[in-house]
Amino acid sequence: MEHTIFGLIKKRGEIAGQHKVAQKAADALKADLDAVDRTLVLCGYQDDPKAIAPRGKYRQLFGRNELKLTIINMLREAPADDETITAQIIAAKGWHADDALRADVLKRVRHAIQRQQKDGHVVQDFGPDGCLWRLG
């Protein structure tokens, strides 16, 4: 039982040390945010700087034009909806898709389709199965 207690004491000390380091890093980031907020106000920014939405790091999932070309190749075979295109891309990439990845890929597919629609490469086809995309 003493070994367990000593092991837990050691583990707690390690976790407390990690927490302290993380807290210092968080405090430094907060100070940086406050400095940027003050600078924005000094430069004439009128809105509340705290209303600016935080941004995450962009995850590059596809190479240049890879998504666009993949969608075009899929639509050459048959018209499809954005959900089907997303599922086929995830399967082709061999990704083990959780809900977050599926939502991210779906969002990127929809944006890519909208850009291709504006360029005239794809058109919407409303049929008995709902809205499908096909090559224009």
What are the tens digits of pLDDT across the range 53-73? 888 877 899 999 999 999 999
Query: How many other C-beta atoms can be found within 10 angstroms of the C-beta atom of residue 132?
Result: 18
Q: Are 85 and 78 in contact (CB under 8 A)?
A: no
pLDDT, tens digit (0-9, with 9 covering 90-100), for 2-21: 889 999 999 999 999 999 99
pLDDT in tens, 72-117: 999 999 889 999 999 999 999 999 888 889 999 999 999 999 999 9
Q: Is the dihedral of CA 114, 127, 82, 75 positive or negative?
A: negative
Phi then psi for 117, rounded to 5 degrees? -65, -40
